[in-house]
Structure 1
Amino acid sequence: MVHVTTKIDRADPTRIDELGTFSAATIHEAQGRKGALESGIKPLDRDMSFCGSAFTVVCHPRDNVMLQVAISYAQRGDVLIVASGDQPAGQFGDVLANACVARGISALVTDGGVRDTREIRELGFPVFSKHVCIEGTVKETLGPINQPVVFGGQVIYPGDVVKGDCDGVVVVRRDEVPFAIAASRERDATEAAYIERYRNGETPIQVSNLAAILETKGLTVDQ
């Protein structure tokens, strides 16, 4: 028997929306260069983006029965994190994508495979996957829902906040969301100031204070 946990603690929706205004790369850098999922997990379309609470599910390789259970119990705004053993099988397609949209689910992120990619792109539902594959799956093996999972090189807890965009996916611990927002805002302001200095004629060596470092390392330049 497998017990399914559907009740999880989530961050404040306003905070999730605020965090979602920053890029995945900015959040990753701002929170101390942590939380980035492995780079092989990519969006089906570069314009896809999302930010929401992690609703985790473990699927047996080449099996999607627990994914269908997860879709049935996830709440509006949740992000389905589907750990399925890095197998190139099409466990998710346009039919289930429509089910996700109807339930208000924000996105799906999987280390497995998806198919019907054209239809999913036209639907506009954010899907980030490790594989695209036409091979089908079975509906046989039960597995856990809303347990911590090792996924994409990170440990993800149910209720963690997950942000994805064209550059990748980053995870923020639920209780660290306020810090990540403040740190991301500060980083964006700092980078905007750098860009303004570049436009005013300064070089990266000047803006980043690299002269002393480069001299110490023995860099010489003929001018």
Structure 2
Amino acid sequence: MIRNYDRVPSTLVRAYADLDVATVHEARGKRGAMAAAIKPIHPGMRVCGTALTVRSQPGDNLMLHKAIDIVSPGEILVVDMTGWEGGPWGDLMSVSAKARGCGGLVIDGYVRDSETIRAHGFNVFSRGLSVNGTFKEAIGLINHPVSCGGVIVAPGDLILGDDDGVCVVPKAEAEAVLEQAKIRVEDELVSREQFARGETLWNLAGFQKLAEAKGLREEPVTGEEN
């Protein structure tokens, strides 16, 4: 278990708080998106914070309890459970984690007690729900790089999740990706106004020429039907 590591600064984390995952994923060059199966267990859940990473043995949640014990306020628990189809996280763990300031859970695996977790206001992203219980016997890793949803996550990386899924921004890229995301937001505001007037991206972006260069052939317009 590693206790000392660099994190994305809190000022940058706050700057990401109002951005959506799709914008950040695009701003990062279409990189960092976890597997589409990892979604919030209820619509409207959101996470934005730095990663506390956990590698836990399938069927065992001992290290998840250790992670709750050491989590810092605002950190997101990012857990590699290798997609194991059981419920290593539930109601009481959510209460404990929230009380200690944890910003949420992202797990490459499953959870249970979904209704009571929502009632407690704790944000959880997982592959789904499973009632299967776990043991507390196996040692794993805390705050080492892990694979979660097909993405390598290092402790202290930025984690952003909303209804669309989860995106990871490495510490070293956080500032540059934020600037690109802000540019995208401004550009999309302009585009939205143009689309509201009836314009299409096909015309504005010159997709006709691109498609013709790729071999698009269209039947000529012969006139309007009566």
Deviation at 1:222, TM superposition (A): 4.3
Deviation at 1:103, TM superposition (A): 0.4
- Deviation string for 1:89-114 (max 9, x for gaps)? 11011100000110000010111211
| TM-score, structure 2 normalization | 0.94
User: Per the alignment, in what secondary structure is the counterpart of residue 189 of structure 2?
Assistant: helix
Other-structure match for 1:64: 61
Unmatched tracts of structure 2, length 5 or more:
222-226
Structure 2 CA distance for aligned equivalents of residues 40 and 54 of structure 1? 19
Other-structure match for 2:218: 220
Structure 2 CA distance for aligned equivalents of residues 48 and 219 of structure 1? 45
Amino acid of the residue matched to residue 20 of structure 1? A
State the percentage of identical aligned residues.
Answer: 36
Structure 2 CA distance for aligned equivalents of residues 113 and 200 of structure 1? 45
Amino acid of the residue matched to residue 198 of structure 1? F
Are 1:13 and 2:18 an aligned pair? no
2:112–2:131 contact (8 Å) kept in structure 1: yes
2:89 to 65, 89, 92: 92
1:35–1:170 contact (8 Å) kept in structure 2: yes
Unmatched tracts of structure 1, length 5 or more:
none
2:120 to 115, 123, 127: 123
Are 1:114 and 2:111 an aligned pair? yes
Structure 1 CA distance for aligned equivalents of residues 95 and 220 of structure 2? 62
User: Per the alignment, in what secondary structure is the counterpart of residue 141 of structure 2?
Assistant: coil
Deviation at 1:12, TM superposition (A): 1.2
2:201 to 201, 204, 208: 204
Amino acid of the residue matched to residue 200 of structure 2? T
Are 1:27 and 2:24 an aligned pair? yes
| Aligned-pair Cα RMSD in Å | 1.1
1:19–1:177 contact (8 Å) kept in structure 2: no
Deviation at 1:45, TM superposition (A): 1.2
Are 1:165 and 2:167 an aligned pair? no
Tell me which structure has the larger Cα radius of gyration. 2
- Give every structure 1 segment of 4 or more consecutive aligned residues whose post-TM-superposition deviation is greater than 2 Å: 214-219
Are 1:73 and 2:70 an aligned pair? yes
- Deviation string for 1:32-63 (max 9, x for gaps)? 11011011111011200111111001111010
- Deviation string for 1:8-49 (max 9, x for gaps)? 211111110111211111101011110110111110112001
2:39 to 33, 42, 52: 42
| Residues paired across the two proteins, number | 220
Deviation at 1:220, TM superposition (A): 1.1
2:41–2:128 contact (8 Å) kept in structure 1: no
